[in-house]
Structure 1
Amino acid sequence: MSAILVGVDGSDAATAAVRFAADAAVREGVGLKLVGVYDASTSNYAPGLIIPQEVVDAIRQDAGDAVRAAAEVAKEVAPDLPISTSIAEGDAARVLLELGKDTTAIVLGTRGLGSVKGLFLGSVSTTVAAHSHGRVVVVTGPGGDGPVVVGIDDSPVSDVAIAEAFRQASVRNTKLVAVHTWAPLDVDALHGYGVAPDEIERVSQEAVEAIAERLAGHHADFPDVVVERVVVPEEPAKAILDTAGEDAQLIVVGSRGRGGFTGLLLGSTSQKLLHQSPVPVLVVRD
């Protein structure tokens, strides 16, 4: 059975991810796969250090406890949901990316999942979102019962994000708000450069028409979804965040991945959303 994968470590952030994922699994008719990842190896800062076996056992036990607690949380949200649990040893991001290849999505919180309990070694969620070839949801906040918000532009990955956003709006029985920004300057700045208000209105209307055409093909596949278009001369991440507020159920954004484990693999808009959004963010790849 298809399943949504959740990385858990006993943190509040991971618990929030479990709650979101359990609800999403019910909506999508799939199971839930909970995994606790632990790493008892030493870092490059302490080469040759031998970790006592009792410490290794304690770390493994903590991972198992976290998974069992997460399963109880998931059952509270969805008592009849099929749930599988496991623990795995290794680098958290790499393990989750490997296990995520056989799942419909990966869901993560924004903290935790470091190599040693209580030690934050970097953003696993950002790394997974950057390198996964599937859907990744980073639960940056609880969200509300409002719309699904998608950021769109004229790139190919935008079509992938639009399709996923329509699907999410349909399964969540809510409207879709499509946000497009046509200039990274605000209106006052444009006026200051001698751009007349009627010219701003003309460009904005052209953008509205272009977005309507881009959405039309997807709307035909989800006729039940009500679509609202927001076109503003604003920096993309700010426009999306302002539109979503704290009421949106989900923000959907596309990401252009290049593969590998080096370099910047998330665009600036995706990065800002993952760090600033008060609602869950779903990253899809082209």
Structure 2
Amino acid sequence: MVKLRIVVGADGSAGSTAAVRWAAAEALLRGAELRVLAAYQRRDPHQHGDDGAAAVVHDAVVQARTVAPDVDVKGVALPGYAAPLLLHAAEEAALLVVGDRRRGTLPGQPLGSVGSQVATHAKASVVVVRGHPADGPVVVGVDDGPTAATIIGRAFEEAALRRAALLAVTAQPNGDGRAALGEEALGAGLDPHLDPWRSRYPSVPAEHEYAPGRPDRVLVQRCERAQLVVVGPRRHGYEGVMLGAIGTGLLRRADCPVLIAR
């Protein structure tokens, strides 16, 4: 039986340490193995390793084993650029985890280049670890896009895994979003977005909030009390992916880890 694998990038920063610890807890939760990867630039063609990167990996593995001593944790330092190495490693992973390099910088600055590339191009689902640990709900944005059902289903799965509640949020700049459901559905107390998943995950308490305002700003506000927010990528062109305004806004300002579900 092939075991699930989680890959986490390490570079010795505070954001990286938070990502490693979160990934270790996630591996324990999922019964997965954890692989820690660090990149270094080889300046000498005859060089076979890098002491600095090896130390980063060692420290990261120690951190992971402290959080989850029963998880199979292995680490490796490889020559090359971090983003391509992580993207390659993610091809055989169920989840790729990276830290937020904005820690200590000014609010609103872009996500670090590695995190941005990974979040945009990885074939696996990606988590960018931000904010502080919380015991709140799993939050997901709900719209009428073609991937909405898949993203809502993933959010229910994550909530069930964590034994958490789910908060689905529909935000519209000019209204509260209820009009899209139709009078008949509203009158009958039906929710075509959540009801199919409620029946599959009866243990998950699920609430659907309709809020006026820009979706990215509303979701950032809801993340203040969340333990995870789930967002889907926007398809663009030939096998291209864009995060869109909502995903980009969450990666810059969310106060909890952000899962980009593939």
Q: What is the TM-score of this pair, normalised by structure 2?
A: 0.86
Out of 249, 257, 261, the position equivalent to 1:280 is: 257
**Matched ranges for 1:55-204 at <5 A:** 60-111=50-101, 122-181=112-171, 183-185=172-174, 203=179
Out of 212, 221, 234, the position equivalent to 1:242 is: 221
More helix by share: 1
CA contact (8 A) 2:138 2:226 kept: yes
Spell out, residue by residue over 1:169-227, the C-alpha distance to the aligned partner (whole angstroms, 9 max, x if none).
Answer: 0011110000111x224x6xxxxxxxxxxxx6963774985982121222222111010
Distance in 2, Cα, partners of 1:271 & 1:177: 20
Distance in 2, Cα, partners of 1:155 & 1:144: 29
- Gaps of at least 5 residues in structure 1 are 41-50, 113-120, 188-199
Give the CA deviation at 1:122: 4.7
CA RMSD of aligned residues (A): 2.7
Matched, 1:31 2:33: yes
Out of 229, 249, 265, the position equivalent to 2:208 is: 229
CA contact (8 A) 1:4 1:31 kept: yes
Three-state SS of the structure 2 residue aligned to 1:212 is coil
CA contact (8 A) 1:25 1:31 kept: yes
Letter in 2 for 1:9: D
Distance in 2, Cα, partners of 1:205 & 1:156: 16
* Higher-Rg member (1/2): 1
The residue aligned with 1:212 is 191
The residue aligned with 1:7 is 9
Moved over 3 A (4+): 51-54, 204-211, 257-261
Distance in 2, Cα, partners of 1:27 & 1:6: 15
Distance in 2, Cα, partners of 1:260 & 1:158: 20
Letter in 1 for 2:119: A
Distance in 1, Cα, partners of 2:162 & 2:118: 25
Letter in 1 for 2:28: V
Letter in 2 for 1:282: L
The residue aligned with 1:254 is 232
Give the CA deviation at 1:71: 0.7
Give the CA deviation at 1:52: 5.4
Distance change in 2, residues 1:222/1:22 (3 Å): same
Count of aligned positions: 249
Distance in 1, Cα, partners of 2:39 & 2:190: 42
Distance in 1, Cα, partners of 2:229 & 2:5: 21
Matched, 1:265 2:245: no
CA contact (8 A) 1:250 1:282 kept: yes
CA contact (8 A) 1:259 1:265 kept: no
Three-state SS of the structure 2 residue aligned to 1:20 is helix
Three-state SS of the structure 1 residue aligned to 2:139 is strand
CA contact (8 A) 2:177 2:211 kept: no
Distance change in 2, residues 1:211/1:12 (3 Å): farther
Spell out, residue by residue over 1:107-148, the C-alpha distance to the aligned partner (whole angstroms, 9 max, x if none).
Answer: 000129xxxxxxxx9521111111112210000222311110
